[in-house]
Structure 1
């Protein structure tokens, strides 16, 4: 995106990462820092997301070498630390929001970029509103990130393409293993994937093969009520026809009463039920009722940390939204998010445009009905057209002499606090 040459603006930019990290969130951080540096703007980062702002635990990225920042583009995890911490409403806890503004003011922060999902977009929006009320001019920009691909407005979310690629590859490779052993061993393989309310990752598994006999043979979406009898009948029919069956299940599938099959009784920092274990539940049903040998896998964090298998398209998206976020902030935009706009499926073309945070915060984009097959267990041609470009291309990290990826660990030099500690 072209930028006009400008003199160095006064003030600093603060960048923070939020929620579950992705394989490419640091590529966004690289886009932010490199673009700000080119404009002569110093960048601080918050240690562990919004908590770092509340605690006044800030990091001076100016202490990092140019090569270290460039290496963020191929390094997974969250380089500055992230957190799952949901701010209450302004009415419930105004003190937290006022503290945020106090910290921003104390360190001459004039631009705040919050890199996260729905809750983070809401936080950035609220800070933008309160900053005006408190008379402190800080430009707040939300930066998209989520493996779940459930942010509104944007065509897709940075982080999703790489998880989608990892999932499709895992399904194809594991299915080749199952097929080779099915005659005397495992008949059913079940892979559990992330996705509480939206089945985008489960749908991406459908890219592993095409046709009724190609894996995955069964996809369980959270957008569809789980029907145990129909599921088991589909598995048995597939085994009878193909000789084996691969199942991909979203962690968020529910029964007719609305209960998560994998709900463990605990909740995370956002109040969401802690999920994980649906594959084991399904495996037990297959074993008990169909008497078939089953193996299952729960990749969990492996899905979102697999930078070695990142999608080149996803990396490009992630860097581009970071770069655009800085451009928007320095241009004086406020309470917006750089979103991905698809202009063509084939050939795949896209661009970045600003969208109001008010249209994104606390909204959730689920799988369209047109993306789920009539049988309820597969994806449609429309889904393939949407998903396929997002996993294309390889962007492998450099490898060291030890045969492992050469990832970077930043120094993360702390900024000296200027305010009293904040107690909650």
Structure 2
């Protein structure tokens, strides 16, 4: 019987509160199938670890440490924003990947990330075969933006949704208590470049008419300054305060972002940030209201202490399923979550061909947005509500979450050449 091939696992893009749960799912499941999968190597800083032959031997981690990944945020092995170009543009990248995979007897590739990592995973699955060393590539979904197609939700989103909804409700109570003599408008800026799922989730904070957030600004709805200011003014006049949640990807009528830095990230996306203070200053200049603003930024995607249990369970499940699909012979697929019922919430796992996933984005459906463009509908609530359900607190020590730090022992290099990225 042939010696089982090793596996390569890597994390990509912005990390989440539960991405390490997916890592635990991959590693623990692979350990149960040693007859089919040898060692699991992790890429230090994502796919860059493969290109530079900087691999981590996860077999050096104890079962207890791997299990603790389920409740530890961040990327345990390091992540990156690095998108492989096409074979025609940079053949050397792919030749290097195959060289590293061959040197370490790697036959399985589990890439844990969003849309760009799905594209990378697809390219590796297709081109490795052409280059004479086939690698089974399975995409493990992860993105706080919830914008991957063909899956009901994306691991990482439910916990961000919960954090944003809770933060909106708590901040609103603060603002309301001071509105008579102080702040009238509070603005919370959240992530979401092209899809407004995170901003929409803030709408769960309000359950009755008049509850905050009173205004949600979404990338799917063109920003109308006159209508926005009118809504804010009317809200303050009626309730004495107004809470606004704005997505970083909110756009002007000409399609440009309200707050675009003019620079690009490693994936070629426009760098965003600053729409919160931009909106706040507009409120001050046009309406004269005292304001406060906040940017959720990394806090929203790293808050494991308030993670959704549904999200944590799904994150682990997609990692586990990725290994099981690979063992069955699947290739070039992404693990998907399929919803069968809202109440009670029921879901199962499936798979989708990466050719239908890569370079496609799922935006907020029109039916999820109220007619005035400033809120979410009952349909949106039915979709969002189950995703934030349940508490899954990490263990605490001396009043703080007790997270694990792995040893991350390097695998001895076998190649004589280095590779510049």
TM-score (norm 2): 0.98
Asked whether the equivalents of residues 153 and 360 of structure 1 are also in contact (C-alpha less than 8 Å), the reply is yes
The superposition leaves residues 216-236 of structure 1 with CA deviations (integer Å, 9 ceiling, x where unpaired) of 000000001101111010000
Superposition deviation, residue 137 in structure 1: 2.7
**Quick check: 1:218 aligned with 2:212?**
no
1:66-81 matched pairs, under 5 angstroms? 66-81=63-78
**Quick check: 1:44 aligned with 2:47?**
no
Q: Who is 1:33 aligned against?
A: 27
1:250-269 matched pairs, under 5 angstroms? 250-269=247-266
Asked whether the equivalents of residues 8 and 39 of structure 1 are also in contact (C-alpha less than 8 Å), the reply is no
SS of match in other structure, 1:162: helix
Superposition deviation, residue 422 in structure 1: 1.3
1:8 and 1:33 map into 2 onto residues whose CA distance is 21
1:110 and 1:256 map into 2 onto residues whose CA distance is 49
**Quick check: 1:412 aligned with 2:412?**
no
2:327 and 2:108 map into 1 onto residues whose CA distance is 8
Superposition deviation, residue 257 in structure 1: 1.3
2:328 and 2:307 map into 1 onto residues whose CA distance is 31
Q: Which runs of 4 or more aligned residues in structure 1 lie more than 3 Å from their structure 2 counterparts after TM superposition? A: none
Unpaired runs of at least 5, structure 2 = none
Q: Who is 2:138 aligned against?
A: 141
Superposition deviation, residue 104 in structure 1: 0.5
1:423 and 1:314 map into 2 onto residues whose CA distance is 37
Q: By percentage of residues, which structure has more strand?
A: 2
SS of match in other structure, 1:157: coil
Unpaired runs of at least 5, structure 1 = 1-6
Q: Who is 2:11 aligned against?
A: 17
2:81 and 2:134 map into 1 onto residues whose CA distance is 27
Q: Who is 2:369 aligned against?
A: 372
C-alpha RMSD over aligned residues: 1.0
Q: Who is 1:108 aligned against?
A: 105
Q: Who is 1:403 aligned against?
A: 399
SS of match in other structure, 1:186: coil
Superposition deviation, residue 89 in structure 1: 1.0
1:207 to 181, 204, 209: 204
1:423 and 1:381 map into 2 onto residues whose CA distance is 51
Superposition deviation, residue 8 in structure 1: 9.3
SS of match in other structure, 1:15: strand
**Quick check: 1:294 aligned with 2:291?**
yes
Give the total of aligned pairs.
Answer: 417
1:190 and 1:423 map into 2 onto residues whose CA distance is 43
Q: Who is 1:353 aligned against?
A: 350
2:181 to 172, 180, 184: 184
Q: Who is 2:61 aligned against?
A: 64
Superposition deviation, residue 350 in structure 1: 0.2
Q: Who is 1:4 aligned against?
A: none
Superposition deviation, residue 9 in structure 1: 6.1
